[in-house]
Every structure is written in C-alpha cells, then in structure tokens.
Chains A and B, each alone.
Chain A
C-alpha cells in the first residue's frame, strides 16, 4: 500500500566468511568473490586502492583505524532502497521486504590524506577479535568484512570521506544481494500496529552528533547541520536512514548501531506488550551556544509532545554523553519533563579508573531517572600482542604519543564502539 510503513526483514545468519570465485550464501557461510566486490564498490578517482580482509571471532587479529561499520542489507521490494538518499532520491524508507546478513559487519578502515587536529579529526579506534579487551569492543563477536581504503593522490579529506560513504554502503548492498534469490528461514515483521489504548505512548529521542567533517551524521544522504528536530518511523531507522560520519571518539555512534538501534529493537519488542511505540524523534546535539542548546531541548520536546508522547527515552550518540553534548541532552530532558513527558535518559559516566570523578558534567533536577552504561571506576583490560593486524602497521591512541606497533600489547581505552557495547552487555555503575 502506498505510504505505509510496514517492513518485513528476512535474516540470513552468517558464521563463516571465505574468499571464493563466486559470491554466494550457503548454510551460514558467505563466499565472497573479491574481484566482483571490488568492481561493485570502486571509486577509482578518489579511492586508489581497497584491500578486503576477513576476520572472525576468536582470531588473534586486531583491526585498526576503523571509521564506521555497516550492516549488510538489501531491499527486494518497497518504495526506497536501503540506506535511502545514498542511492537516488530520498524516498521515504521503511516499507517492503529486506534481506539482512545477520552476524556480519562490514567495517571501513582508512586514514585521511590531509592533516587534521582539534575536534574535527578522526580518533584511533580498534577492535580485537579475541583476548581480554574483545568483550568490551563492538564487532569482536561478528564475522567481519573489512575494507581498508587508500586515497588517490591529491584527494581532499572531504572528497575521500564522501567516497568512503559510497564504498561502504555499496558493499553492504552487494554482500546482501547474494541472498536475493534465496528464502530466509525467519521473517520479522515491523509495523506500529494498534495496541490497547491504556498503554503508555513512548518515543525514542535520539540526539545525533553533528559538528562538521569527521563529526557528522547523515539523514537520508544529507548531513544534519541545521537539522530541526523531526520524527522518523522506526522502520526508517531499520532501513538505514541514519548513516554515521562521526570519527571523533571511539565511543561514538556507528551506522550499524543506528540501523540496529537497541532502543528501536527494545521498543518494538515491547510494542503492544507494555508500551505503545510512537516513533523516533531525532535532532542534533553539540549546538554552538547556550541559547541554541536550550532551544534544541524545547524543539525536541515539542516534537515529542506533538507526536503524543507520554514517555520519552533519550540517548545521545548511542549513550556517548561526554562534555558539550551533555548540555543539549540535559536541556532536552528538562524540556520533555516540563512538557509533561516522563523521561528516562541513558548516559555514560565520565571519570577516572579510580572512580572518583563527578559522574556527569551537567545536570538538571528533572533528570531524576538515569540509566548508566558505566565507564567510570573501571579500565578495559590490557590487550596482549596479536598475530595479525588489519588496517595499518602502527596505531596512535593519543595524539600526544608517537605512533606505535599496531600488533604489540596495548593498554588503551580507544576500543571501537565501547559505549554501545557496554549498553548492550548491560554494564552500569554503582556507588562503591
């Protein structure tokens, strides 16, 4: 039906990746024709060379310089493509039938051609596929296809970044297309069906990160600078309406974490059981002035209320409340509560390994229901040396340090997707 937001997703579980003469899916294994993949994703004017690597959980393997991770999926029917806006017009997504490769992540690893410093520069991000740090980084438990991308001569950072988005999304579609002619074992149907009228109407309020190149989030193929808060159907999230271009901190959001949003999944799971899931309110944090931060809070609350929300659950950058963006975040909590919406916020706690730092840099009295994803009073275990490194020979966990051997032992905090992972595995923090 035109205009509906009903999505069926067929999952194909992936346990094993191999290179082969033909790309095909068979019994939980994906064979990848490396040449065909490279032909499908080539950006020859901007990306001079793409290495394709595979990594599985349990291997003595470290992936470095990770910029983003994407969930391979393809739309077989429906209005739009997956990752809408990146492959043509920004037709509203969230309808039709998708195939999704479950347990597989596509990672992009690259270093930018031009020097950067300050906020708008990529931070080191690592994944260990085994060892003591692995449980605390994202994608240590998925089979991974890693694209290591090298820029062509004289390419700017902006040109390279734009090409990397095209490369990763095309690759995500290419890999999932291997299942196009197959029938999935399981179908999931996603629709906001009518519920009992007495269930609370809940919105997920998602504060996005947008500051500029290296620190941005795309909505339907466009950056979110200047975005006023708006509403997404959760199926648009599942279809990849949000794409990550934020490389600032290792704890940042990830395209995979947007399309596999833990709040969307949880609220869908409980839709009709104990909540009525209304939708997703998005807006950008990191506003530049106090006036704009307060305004942002009110505009977020305003949209949530106009949707009819009784309850809001709010996250920032997948739980990554650090400094600056915590102010916008708190203003949103305050505004939601003052607009009569009962609000719970999910936050990381900044602080030292000794646990003695203040938990959050900003707070409003209305923020009286906070879920912690931990991070304070704790250190990710040191990682031993690894046999294989994908993505580079050296790493630079801190701009103040000289680059060091990427395969050596590392006692660092820059594990990729660490905050998202802590949210998923259920870490919190307590007074001790």
Chain B
C-alpha cells in the first residue's frame, strides 16, 4: 500500500477550542495531530491520509497580520512536507472564510493542493472562487459540519493523489470560474425546448451557463498636465506593418508587437495592414490614421498640447481575445512603457 497522504489542517481559534470572540487575537500556532473538527476529518480520511498537524489562528489576528501569517503557514507546510492542505470549513463566517481562502491560495501557488469549505454567501467564496480554488459548498452554520467534512475529505484525497476531479455538481464545490465541455447525450434543440417549457410552466429549471461578471475598471483620474508628458499609442486593432512581420493572429492573440513611428507624420496607406478578424478593415486600409490617429496626435504634439509621442506604436489583436492573455499583455505593455518614461497612453477604440 502507498504511504498515507500528509495533511495539514487549518482552523480558527473558535474551532480550535480556544474561545469565542475574546480569542480572536490569538496568534498563529501549530500543534501535532488533530484539533476540533479535525477529529471528524481524520475519521473521514481513514487510513488514506494522516492529519500531521493543525494550525490555529484567531480571525482578528489573521486579518491584521495576513501576509505574515501566510508566510508562517507556508514555511510550516514546506517543513511538514504536506501533501494536501485543508482549511475550515468556515461556513458563513466572513473573517474565517477570508483566512481559509488566502491560505489555500498560497498553498496552491506553492504547489500544494488545497481544499476548503464555505457557504456560498461567505465573502471568502466571492473573493477566492475566481482564483480557481476548490471551495466545498456548505451550510451556513456548523449544523452542516459532518457533510462538509465528508465531502472535503473525499475531494482532498482525490486532489492529493492527483486523481481526476468531477464537476462542481458531482463533487459539491462552488463554481470556480472553470468550465469543461461534456457530453449530455441530448441535442441542444431538445434541451432548449425542455428548458423553455419548464420556464413557461414556472417550474424550476437550471441554466447551463454560469455567468462570470467582468472586473469593473474605473477610468483613471485625468492627468494635470499633458504638455510635458510622454504619450504612447496602444491599439488592439491589429494594425501591423505590411507583411505582418510579428505574425499577429486575426483572433485570440497571445502576444503584442511594437512598430517604430519615429519621424512619421502620419500612417501611410499601403505600409500597414489590419489583421484583426473582427471588423471590416476596408476603411482602415484606405487610411490607417482612422484606427490609429497618428496624424491628429502629431498636430497636438506640434501645438504643445501633449509633450511628445513615444516612438513606438504598440499593437495587438483584441478580437476573441482571452481575458487572461489580455491581462498579461496589458501588464507587460504597461511595464514596458513605464520603464521608458511614458506617462500617458492613448487607446483608440477600434
């Protein structure tokens, strides 16, 4: 038989039996073996895994020393050679949920599979589900402890052994912004009519698509003075030098390109192509300044309304772009421009 998995369990001071709110400032500490709900956890894990240690921290202490506690816990996980990290369950307790979420995220980043449990309304679930954490759905209170522990233990064993994980519904975890295509055995048309009839009869039905809301990006405050600011143009229009030397794709771009515009008064038709597959590029090819208004910006530069234009035009393709890739490219472009002293960016809409 293979060695039992080494599990480290995290709970707060209340579940650690150290007291209620008065114990919320209890500093992080560790003890061998199980404590509190860890006993139930150990039962569920059986001989497949061993709870080698329990880490306990007051909710208040954690929120005031979050980074320090996270570092402390990660060091312990490394020295204990943890195969799996289990936190909570936190039910609907907000501060407890936040500490479980943060520590699970750190463990995952360190390559240690982590599992926690929360009620869907726990703020920790909102904050950390999108980080693709496995958060088992629980009742709002400790009434749901046995079922929560049973499911968390089952999932932790699968994760620790590297086994295939079922769907959110099968395993019982909260949707974590990860989708998987699966066969249903029934054509879309049939499922659509069935769902429509249930909706029309006011019977319960389940939409097949979980909607993820996009991050709201507030517009930055206006700059006090542009006349001395180095300005750059960044575009997702796919406007590339003729011949597409950087091989930007027409959709789903994962890289960006830089083209020199030094000394150019305007973009000259024929020297540019628009490889973006999402818009009719006829007007852009006739006059590339329609998508990247270099001509107008040079006027502003001459008039002294903007300090100077950065010598490079930064280009990618926005069409059918992956959000993760776009986030990464945005950060790369920002870092590049910042390093070159650029203080303002103009992103013309395509």
Interface residues of A (CB under 8 A from B): 117-121, 123, 200, 202, 211-212, 248, 262-263, 265-267, 270, 274-275, 310-313, 319, 322-324, 342-344, 346-347, 349-352, 354-360, 363, 368-378, 398-401, 422-432
Closest A residue by C-beta to B238:
A118
> Can you give 6 contacting A-B residue pairs, CB < 8 Å?
A117-B285, A344-B193, A363-B213, A369-B199, A398-B250, A428-B184
Given A262-B188, A398-B249, the answer on whether A202 and B179 have CB atoms closer than 8 Å is no
Residues of B within 8 A of A346 (CB): 188-189, 192
Residues of A within 8 A of B192 (CB): 263, 266, 313, 344, 346, 371
Contact A363 B211 (CB under 8 A): yes
Residues of B within 8 A of A123 (CB): 250, 277
Contact A371 B195 (CB under 8 A): yes
Complex-state Cα separation, A432 to B168, whole angstroms: 5
Closest B residue by C-beta to A379:
B181
Interface presence of B340 (CB below 8 A): no
Residues of B within 8 A of A352 (CB): 322, 324
Q: Distance (Å) between the CB of A245 and the closest chain B CB?
A: 15
Contact A431 B188 (CB under 8 A): no
Extra contacts, 12 of them, besides A262-B187, A355-B179, A369-B195 (Cβ < 8 A), are A117-B273, A118-B274, A118-B282, A118-B284, A311-B200, A342-B200, A358-B214, A363-B211, A375-B181, A377-B178, A428-B183, A429-B209
Contact B211 A359 (CB under 8 A): yes
- B48-56, B64-72, B169-177 - interface stretch: B169-177
Cβ < 8 Å to A, chain B residues 182-214 = 182-193, 195-197, 199-200, 205, 207-214
Contact A200 B188 (CB under 8 A): no
Determine the main DSSP class of B at the interface with A: loop
Contact B284 A429 (CB under 8 A): no
- We find that the number of chain B residues with CB closer than 8 angstroms to chain A is 61
Contact B250 A426 (CB under 8 A): no
Interface presence of B323 (CB below 8 A): yes
**Chain B 108-150 against A: per-residue CB contact (8 Å), 1 yes, 0 no?**
0000000000000000000000001000000000000000000
Complex-state Cα separation, A310 to B178, whole angstroms: 34
Interface presence of B165 (CB below 8 A): yes
Closest A residue by C-beta to B211:
A363
Complex-state Cα separation, A266 to B165, whole angstroms: 34
Which of B190, B196, B247, B248 has the most chain A CB atoms closer than 10 A to its own CB? B196
Q: Distance (Å) between the CB of A274 and the closest chain B CB?
A: 6
Complex partner residue of A313 from B167, B196, B210, B324, CB under 8 angstroms: B196
Complex-state Cα separation, A346 to B192, whole angstroms: 7
Residues of A within 8 A of B279 (CB): 118-119
Complex-state Cα separation, A428 to B250, whole angstroms: 26
Q: Distance (Å) between the CB of A133 and the closest chain B CB?
A: 15
Q: Distance (Å) between the CB of B269 and the closest chain A CB?
A: 14
Which of B132, B199, B213 has the most chain A CB atoms closer than 10 A to its own CB? B199
Contact B248 A400 (CB under 8 A): yes
Interface presence of B156 (CB below 8 A): no
Which 7 A/B pairs are nearest by Cβ-Cβ distance?
A: A118-B281, A378-B181, A374-B181, A431-B168, A266-B189, A432-B180, A431-B175
Given A118-B284, A399-B244, the answer on whether A428 and B324 have CB atoms closer than 8 Å is no
Contact A399 B249 (CB under 8 A): yes
Interface presence of B280 (CB below 8 A): yes
Interface presence of B276 (CB below 8 A): yes
Cβ < 8 Å to A, chain B residues 66-117 = none
Q: Distance (Å) between the CB of A229 and the closest chain B CB?
A: 20
Complex partner residue of B278 from A324, A344, A373, CB under 8 angstroms: A324
Complex-state Cα separation, A355 to B196, whole angstroms: 27
Closest B residue by C-beta to A319:
B188
Residues of A within 8 A of B275 (CB): 117-118, 399-400
Q: Distance (Å) between the CB of B113 and the closest chain A CB?
A: 15
Given A275-B197, A323-B320, A351-B322, the answer on whether A427 and B179 have CB atoms closer than 8 Å is no
Residues of B within 8 A of A262 (CB): 187-189
Residues of B within 8 A of A430 (CB): 167-169, 179-180, 182, 208
Residues of B within 8 A of A343 (CB): 196, 199
Contact A349 B209 (CB under 8 A): yes
Complex-state Cα separation, A357 to B177, whole angstroms: 7
Interface presence of B289 (CB below 8 A): no
Complex-state Cα separation, A427 to B322, whole angstroms: 22
Closest B residue by C-beta to A212:
B280
Complex partner residue of A376 from B179, B205, B324, CB under 8 angstroms: B179
Contact B179 A377 (CB under 8 A): yes
Given A346-B188, A371-B191, the answer on whether A431 and B167 have CB atoms closer than 8 Å is yes
